Amino acid sequence: MTIHSNADGFRGGDLHERDGRRRIVVLGDSMVFGSGVEERERFTERIEAAEPGWRVENLAWSATAPT
């Protein structure tokens, strides 16, 4: 499994890139981060693929939990 991170340290694309689509932000822990799966297999990428009018940003971090 390959993990890429953007300039902000998140696993995904450039958060500062201009995009006219509605932006959805998903926060979470390793389950949202997608530990153990390729980036294209994460549920956030699947949501974005199913709804091309949305840009889904996955801002999860592995080994963290909401407080």
- What is the predicted pLDDT for the residue at 65? 57
User: Over 90: is that where the pLDDT of 17 sits?
Assistant: no
- Cα dist from 46 to 7, 42, 64, whole Å: 23, 7, 23
Is the CA virtual torsion 35, 38, 39, 45 positive or negative? negative
Query: Running DSSP on this structure, what letter comes out for residue 14?
Result: -
Instruction: Count the neighbouring beta carbons within 10 Å of the beta carbon of residue 66.
Output: 6
Q: What confidence tens digit (pLDDT) does each residue in 28-65 have?
A: 888 888 888 888 898 999 999 999 999 998 888 777 55
pTM above 0.85, yes or no: no
